[in-house]
A and B are shown apart, each in its own frame.
Chain A
Amino acid sequence: MKRVALLSVLLFCSGLAMAQADIQKKLQTQLIMAEDGSVIEVDEGNFSILASLSMEGKKNITIVGKGMDKTILSFKGQVDGAEGLRISNAENIVIKDLTIQDSKGDCIKTMNVKNITFQNVKTEWTGKPKASNGSYGLYPVKCEGVMIDGCVAIGASDAGIYVGQSKKIVVKNSKAINNVAGIEIENSLDAEVYDNEAYGNTGGILVFDLPDLVLKKGGRVKVYNNNVHDNNYINFAPKGNIVGKVPQGTGMLILATSDVEIFNNKITDNISIGVGVISYFMTESPIKDKEYDPYPSNIFIHDNAFQRKPGRATMKGRFGKMMRFKMKMGKDVPSVFWDGIVQKDSGDKVICLKGNQNGTFVNMDAANNFKNMSRDTTPHECTMKSL
């Protein structure tokens, strides 16, 4: 009797494993065979997927689950391919109502897609955030027309929501939690980031322009109505990555980007930096790309509410050391940091500050070994044209 019971359990288990492999095969086949204009539905349930799923060269496709946390594709046992789901060379693609978990590399990467929408999608590395988690949760790159709405990204060892080398971007109503970078817009043009909540990350929202890339110059980025708080998680990015240099306790950081407007945000209890504006020189990496512009310019920071419990900034990393030994700030940490590094003879205005609550400021004068550090906001009280 016992034996029969055991056998049936075994049969049941192997049946289950079979069903799982079948689902992976079925889903991948659907993704390959889908006619343009079709809807691919994914059932409710927690499915273990062992290889990257991919779609290529399609138009007008919707991939839809039964709801975030109801349709879960888990890549915990992944043995093949780096991403969870990869979509490339496509047009008008919608991914919605599902969760992707624990992929070995990025959870969802979309490349060369015109009009990609992520709606109510969760990407998550379960367990304690760690360096061995994949890099990006939602990762549209080289896309035009990106809509990220109502999504949640947790535990990425680089950025939870990362839009790179793309154009015409909206990120809204989304949450980024316990990533190294919550939301990052990198080498991208015309982005709006609003009504999001970023907390528990190392850095909440980042806007970066990096060298050596094909789309060299990002910019025209509006960041507003976001709630960016308690981004004090220890930086767990593997070394070598640019986000590995983001100080623990950063609300927002603008690196070498031009035309950025930051307004109406609540920026609360990020221990090191409320908003930082820095040139690429602060990364202390050499610049070999001759076409690259390492200076930020035209950064308008207005009508934000900064708040911060008194206390020291992080003591970790290069920035921690800089704060402690060079700037010697103690517990009096300002809200807005600017490295003060400007391009000689450039007429570009770098920063305007206006109408911020608690908008304390420091010009670090980093180029001159912090000699003429200044907390005076007067030179920067000005207005720029709204984007």
Chain B
Amino acid sequence: MKYVAEYRDPAWARRLSEEVARVVTRPWTLMEVCGGQTHSIVKHGVDAMLPTGIELIHGPGCPVCVTPVGLIDAALHIAAMPGVMFCSFGDMLRVPGTRGDLLSAKAAGAEVRIVYSPLDAVQLASRHPERQVVFFGVGFETTAPATALAVAQAASRGLTNFSLLVSHVRVPPAMEALLSTPGCRVQGFLAAGHVCAVMGTAEYESIAARHRVPIVVTGFEPVDLLRGVLCCVRQLESGRHEVENEYPRAVRDGGNEPAQGWMKEVFRVVSREWRGMGILPGSGLGLAEPYARFDALLRFGIRSEGASPETECSSGLILQGRLRPPECPAFGTRCTPEHPLGATMVSSEGACAAYHRYRRPKGRT
């Protein structure tokens, strides 16, 4: 594919990793924010191409992983209601709630559909007026415009059988929370390229300045990731802490204004619980007042319970980069993709699942 294959070129990747080795003089700990980046790093072995001392820790940027158990339970409850067609992205289906997951709800007779886009769920609602179509709106700022458009389209068509179980989250408050955690080891960030394609880079200026951390907007292919690491290390080595855009082919400084416009039209900023991290102020998007009638919790009279129960799962520490997946006592033994204890083992973007799926052969690098 054009504009993908070029950025997986092994010769370029090697040159970049050699350049990182040339400029680095001491150990640095960087965090890639986005689960898509984690997936790519572990799949391609980008981490193994870095000099000793450069450590990548995996951030909380996996919407499937941070969706709280209470909302998954709400999803299971709604999906099981008669007449409901419950639509979701594929990777939400295996995430365990208190009792089972959406796949087991489907097995028990619920109509659960995988869709590629929230707009497909609106199409289904138009095509099936006899059903109540509910879309499970998870995702960061990258996905929020698509969900906003779905709600706007449903409103424009006057659909009364479409609603949204909304669990959208925002990256900057999560980065703030991480940096404010005592013992935070993160010295520089690779910011999530596609989030910035929508939101731009302005939100990160104050984080970089206040916490004195470089934030490098980074793409998803190996060459992009190594380029992001290189720029981050260069900043750290020269004592700078700036926001730098190393993904300019997709990211403009101001982001995508029409997309931001749709988000502002449909959503408002709310507090939201993150699985493993607790309630973070201003970290979520909920439906704005004029669109409240599309809120599935209201439509079906569900109260989403907060306070997720404690389990053996260490996903909170994993999501904050304080524990590496193989260091978890349950990893690969009591917790596997077939029997996940928590969401980071479920989503293929979750750090635990990525480690499990793309682990290195024994005794090799």
Q: Do A and B make up one complex?
A: no
Mark A residues whose CB is within 8 Å of B: none
